[in-house]
Amino acid sequence: MQLRGSAPAMTRLRLLLPVLAALVLLLAAVAVADDGAALLEIKKSFRNGDTALHDWSGDGASPGYCSWRGVLCDNVTFAVAALNLSGLNLEGEISPVIGSLKSVLSIDLKSNGLSGQIPDEIGDCSFLKTLDLSSNNLEGDIPFSISKLKHLENLSLKNNQLVGVIPSTLSQLPNLKILDLAQNKLSGEIPNLIYWNEVLQYLGLRSNNLEGSLSPDMCQLTGLCDVKNNSLTGTIPDTIGSCTSFQSERMADLSIFRDLSNNQLTGEIPFNIGFLQVATLSLQGNKFSGPIPSVIGLMQALAVLDLSFNELSGTIPSILGNLTYTEKLYLQGNRLTGSIPPELGNMSTLHYLELNDNQLTGFIPPDLGKLTELFDLNLANNSLGGPIPENISSCVNLISLNLSSNTLSGVIPNEVARMRNLDTLFLGNPGLCGYWLGSSCYSSSHTQRSSISKAAILGIAIGGLVILLIILGVACWPYSPPAVKDVSVSKPDTFASASSIVHPKLVILNMNMALHVYDDIMRMTENLSEKYIIGYGASSTVYKCVLKNSKPVAIKKLYAHYPQSLKEFETELETVGSIKHRNLVSLQGYSLSPNGNLLFYDYMENGSLWDILSKAADNTVMEMVDPDISDTCKDLGEVKKVFQLALLCSKRQPSDRPTMHEVVRVLDSLVSPGPLPKPAQPPASQQSSTAPSYVSEYVSLRGGSSLSCANSSSASDAELFMKFGELGQFCTSIRELFKAEESFFVVLLSHDPGLSTTP
């Protein structure tokens, strides 16, 4: 059935088709004429255009220009769609006629010798998506007309001589993904509005003259930001831990790094920087002061750590030895003191270790000989003493060894002398001798001994006299025990407003949790609901959480809350991260949040240590004793008493914990065989008389009841470990049960069911 009126409509359509075709041809002809003429004008602006663009000839009236070098046309309209003249060594200026290419989508003039200013007419190329003018000699300001290019996705002006400020109007480009203005002479501050561009994937501003401080708004940028080699001042924002602009959210993209080096940033390196999951952390060439945050030792993804040429002080954290995937460690040019941690020998993939130009003392640790992948070891310009370790020769790939300007002494090992391809520097160590320096060790050592013998004897005599006087003074000084402070655990009922707290971030240390974020954990545990609680500790509550891969983890929530307890949380992270033991579960991640500071551990189904002591077989209990002392500690009863004592002192409520007097009585029962005495609280005046003399003296020296478990209501596991570790040194009757620190640390941590030991 044919619809009425359809025939006239079809007739009109047939009549319109020739008209439309003619209109298209007319527009194409106009475009051909305009684009062809514009290309010839552009060629005239290049001083060497006749040579570099020799095939650009004719009047430009025909579409033959579509075959010219670097020109790409639309297949229908024959309008210029792309102009690529990169790498042709063109000289001259960019002609304003370039704005006549109305349909061009891409202009690429990089790697030439172009000079002059960027013409304002570039903003007339309204369909432009890519503009690359990098690696030229362009001068002047960045034209504001670029802000009219609403389709622009890629703008690269790097490596020129551009001056002035960064136009804030660039933030109005809705489709801009790449903005690279690096290696120019731009000045002023970075416009905050740029950070709020939701589609911007890369902001390259390195090697300019930019000033001002790092804005907290930079964390709004979802892409990457590079501000290396500028004149930025101030401190690193505390919110950097939540910045995605300095890291990659995907574990597969950890090779992407961010760089704040060579600015004028000051202050301490913030603790929250440990929340960045980056492969390279470079802060070199600034004015950072204070210690190196120990939390950096938990950034397992780091391949390069560069903190060189700052004003950092303090010691090198031993926890840096946990960075087993780090290839480059640069700490030179600071004010670091103390000795070189032997734990650095655990960095098995390390290629470069630069510790020169500091104030390090002590010996060179022989553990550095385990770094078999090391290429460069530089310890120059410190105050290191002692001999050169022979096992440095185990670093078979070592190419450069610089130990100059220290106080090293002794013979240069022959093993080091025989190493191939080794550029070695020993200058500035007058105490060294041997083949390398062309001096005999026998004559010099004999002369040295004879010349210092009298001075050594006199020094020893004076030192001994001073020590004796100090001992006598301490013994005769009247002692008055310090006042006991009542410290209690406080759990805040309210938190800061949501606007003042950065969105919590989960730092992943184990691939088991690689696909999870903080919100996932909260959703799986219903915001840490009570029904997921599996136990309590003296300073924490433990929850069970089943991950997306159906594997459970134990979540330890500390009672001290964010952000008041950053220092305490950092201390616990350092302690847990640096201690390894077969009966300790591994740390899988951590987080700071309004819900409390969270630690994520492996979940074990073995119950608590109390269950093991009361139900397990005797051999299971003995397996928890450190193997170094288990051969000398055969009395199962003594072991159980000490373990039970440790558990009592880690009770959740202070009132449930024994006093120090009761602790002394329990330990006294181990000295005098017999049943475990029933704790009793005598008057304070009688407490010191009931304990063995050596224990009473220890309690008096340490402050008496200040070590009471009941009074240590806020004592953490690590603090209890230290107190009982010291007290255990005086309890010789238990056959040095606390000789190994790890043994007692296991006792304290294992009271939480979620952190239970592996029998």
Q: Which residue has the tokens 């060294």?
A: 432
In 10 A of CB 492, how many CB atoms? 13
Strands 335-336 vs 423-425: parallel, antiparallel or unpaired? unpaired
Q: Which residues contact 408 (CB under 8 A, 6 or more apart)?
A: 364, 384, 385, 386, 387, 388, 426, 429, 431, 432
Order of strands, edge to edge, in the sheet holding 178-180? 71-73, 80-84, 106-108, 130-132, 154-156, 178-180, 202-204, 224-226
Annotated ligand binding at 102? The verdict is: no
The amino acid that residue 182 corresponds to is: A
Angle, vertex CA 753, rays to CA 747 and CA 757, nearest 5: 50
CA distance 704 to 686: 12
Residue 388 burial class via C-beta count within 10 angstroms: exposed 0-12, middle 13-18, buried 19 and up: buried
CB of 727 closer than 8 Å to CB of 661? no
Q: At what angle do helices 693-701 and 660-671 cross, to 10 degrees?
A: 150
In 10 A of CB 587, how many CB atoms? 17
Q: What burial letters (b/e) apply to 300-323, b meaning 16+ CB within 10 Å? A: bbbbbbbbbbbebeeebbbbbbbb
CB of 210 closer than 8 Å to CB of 228? no
Q: Which residues contact 607 (CB under 8 A, 6 or more apart)?
A: 753, 756
CA distance 657 to 715: 12
The two tokens of residue 702 are: 């340490």
Name the binding residues: 557
Name the binding residues for ATP: 557
